[in-house]
């Protein structure tokens, strides 16, 4: 977890204490939630949002709420954090697909997704570090 915190500091000024606090908060939860932490151009937090009942369908329907909160806080981008009550901090294929869709939608309107952390118990995994944030290119059918 210390390595993850050091890497976060390079991306958007998230320090070890903040990652540890997120693990303490989300790790023991029995209901899956998604937390959005918006940041400004200097990497400072400018707003947060907690979304419930969006993860059963692999984040289905949360794109609009994430983008709206980004605009409302005049954010440059956001970090996403969600928990896995199952105890496994590794992203599922649904998590990866949904996150890539969020990255694509967010990027299309000018927001960056700094990372998506998955918390389970005392563990946290960075989807950026795993290389799972890259939006897949669309095939437009152009020749």
* Mean pLDDT (whole number) for 18-31: 86
Please answer whether residues 49 and 42 qualify as being in contact, where contact means their C-beta atoms are separated by less than 8 angstroms. no
Q: What integer pLDDT is reported at residue 142 of this predicted model?
A: 45
Q: What is the pLDDT of residues 33-73, one digit of tens each?
A: 899 999 999 888 899 999 876 555 555 668 899 999 999 99
Whether pLDDT at 105 is above 90: yes
Residue 9 pLDDT grade (very low, low, confident, very high; cuts 50, 70, 90): very low
Locate 21 and state its tokens. Answer: 């606090």
As beta bridge partners, residue 118 has 82, 125
> Environment class of residue 62 by beta-carbon count within 10 Å: exposed (0-12), middle (13-18) or buried (19+)?
buried
Q: What integer pLDDT is reported at residue 19 of this predicted model?
A: 78
Q: Across the chain, what does the average pLDDT equal? A: 81
| Angle between helices 2-12 and 16-26 in degrees, nearest 10 | 120
Q: Taking the model in full, what pTM does it have?
A: 0.80
Three-state DSSP at 16 gives helix
* Mean pLDDT (whole number) for 113-130: 92
Output DSSP code: residue 54. -
2-126 belongs to CATH 3.40.50.10320: no
Domain boundaries along the sequence of the chain: 2-126
Lowest mean pLDDT among 46-55, 74-83, 115-124: 46-55
- Cα dihedral 93, 83, 68, 40, rounded to 10, equals -110
Residues 6 or more apart in contact with residue 7 via CB below 8 angstroms: 126, 128, 129
Any idea which residue has 């199952």 for tokens?
86
């Amino acid at each position: 977890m210390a390595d993850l915190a050091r890497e976060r500091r390079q991306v958007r000024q998230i320090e070890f204490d903040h990652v540890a606090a997120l693990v303490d908060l989300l790790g023991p939860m029995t209901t899956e939630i998604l937390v959005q932490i918006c940041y400004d151009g200097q990497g400072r937090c400018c707003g947060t949002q907690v979304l419930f009942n969006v993860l059963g369908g692999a984040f289905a329907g949360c794109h609009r709420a994430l983008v709206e909160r980004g605009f409302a806080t005049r954010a440059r981008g956001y970090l996403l954090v969600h928990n896995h009550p199952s105890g496994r901090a590794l992203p599922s294929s649904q998590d990866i697909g949904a996150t890539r869709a969020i990255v694509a939608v967010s990027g299309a309107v000018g927001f960056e997704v700094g990372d998506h952390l998955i918390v389970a118990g005392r563990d946290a995994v960075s989807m950026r570090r795993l290389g799972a944030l890259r939006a897949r290119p669309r095939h437009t059918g152009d020749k």
